[in-house]
Chains A and B, each alone.
Chain A
């Protein structure tokens, strides 16, 4: 179904990453020379997780003349902001720099992407906010990039891939979380990965469909790691947003983790309440792609009932990825009350910077407006 009122906060959309040549002004002399002389400026930095020509990667009517999905800002306004009455949209620019093996080069390019996003997107469209792209394998460099961007309050989140080289609960990542919490940023964990390891526990799959479906397993592993390592106790003000994760797998993970924890909790004595409660408090999931069957509204309502919270889902179009046709961004069967929560209230409760910066001024009041 379509959004019933204006003022939505879209928590995941994807502007096309800029070509490397467009990043040259945002690099220092050393990296500018290296990027050009090593021909890195002609490399596409496309992620294996999102083959640009795959139907899932971009809706046919959202592809633009330059062949790229979401290739220019006007198209993004026309396709992703205006039709949904979106008031605020969080850009996750999926540039492949974070998958490089060279930590210094990855950090330099991620930083350049962030500077480009600020100048070319945020400066030009006041409805846009953005995530800070970092290369998580070097948490010190990632934390330095967070410090560098923190003064620009249009950056509201730090973006990490669902699959990296180590589980995200590990203490090596804690400086990154400390920097994010200090500045009122959330941690966004996005589907896909560096593929520095095989994406399954039994090696490499043969087909893209396996990569795509298996990523929910990666999200489960990351969530378990964050819980058991005590990240949520160490950083009680930090929210984790699972982006393009789906959410119908949550009830079984929540139930099994809570049940098993009850039996073995002396192993992890810092966990002070059932893991399902921790998840409801500090973890959020973006809406699209909805991993529930359509045409059976009761099933979706029952899944949400099993999750046990109407505060976990965040509205997202996942533009330009192809998960729905026309304007039918909301799945049928969402209870009336939860539509208001996920479109406006939940995002405001999740992102401290949206809340603090008055992004809700007028939004809550205007939410009754009907989208023209």
Chain B
């Protein structure tokens, strides 16, 4: 028999499953351990050969902070390249609806 929700006694916590976060490599060379030497050399010399005229950036620069949360930038590398920071920001967001100043600093 189903327990009516309003009669449930146990403490409850909201579990959130975030279905879209974007990890990033800190530098392009972070991929090197996973690439054969031939492609490491190609990427280093010629780059990724993106299908537009600017080889290392978007041809549509985004708005504030390249379209990223300003509190998502680690000391080095792009947002998403520091897993602890990324998960910390995401967790605090869901727990409190905002990120405390110390997490953003």
Binding site for B on A (CB under 8 A): 37-40, 43-49, 51, 53-55, 96, 99-102, 105, 193-196, 198, 204, 206-208
Contacts and interface: CB of A to CB of B under 8 A. Distances in A.
Contacts, number: 76
Most chain B beta carbons < 10 A, residue from A193, A194, A198? A194
Given A47-B55, A54-B45, A208-B46, A37 B61 contact: no
B61 A46 contact: no
A38 B60 CA distance: 11
A327 B49 CA distance: 32
Contacts of B44: 53
18 contacts: A37-B65, A38-B62, A38-B63, A39-B65, A45-B54, A46-B54, A46-B55, A47-B54, A48-B49, A48-B53, A48-B54, A51-B47, A51-B55, A99-B59, A102-B61, A195-B53, A196-B53, A208-B49
Interface residues of B, number: 21
Task: Name the 4 nearest CB pairs between A and B, nearest first.
Answer: A99-B53, A195-B53, A43-B57, A48-B55
Contacts of A48: 47, 49-50, 52-55
Contact of A43 (B46, B49, B53, B61): B61
B60 A51 contact: no
- If over half of B's interface residues share one DSSP class (helix, strand or loop), that class is named, otherwise mixed; here it is loop
A44 B61 contact: no
B6 interface: no
Contacts of B63: 38
Contacts of B60: 100-102
Contacts of A40: 61
Contacts of B65: 37-39
- If over half of A's interface residues share one DSSP class (helix, strand or loop), that class is named, otherwise mixed; here it is loop
Given A44-B55, A48-B54, A204-B51, 10 more contacts: A39-B65, A39-B66, A45-B57, A48-B47, A48-B55, A53-B44, A100-B60, A194-B52, A196-B53, A198-B51
Contact of B61 (A38, A193, A194): A38
A367 to B, nearest CB: 39
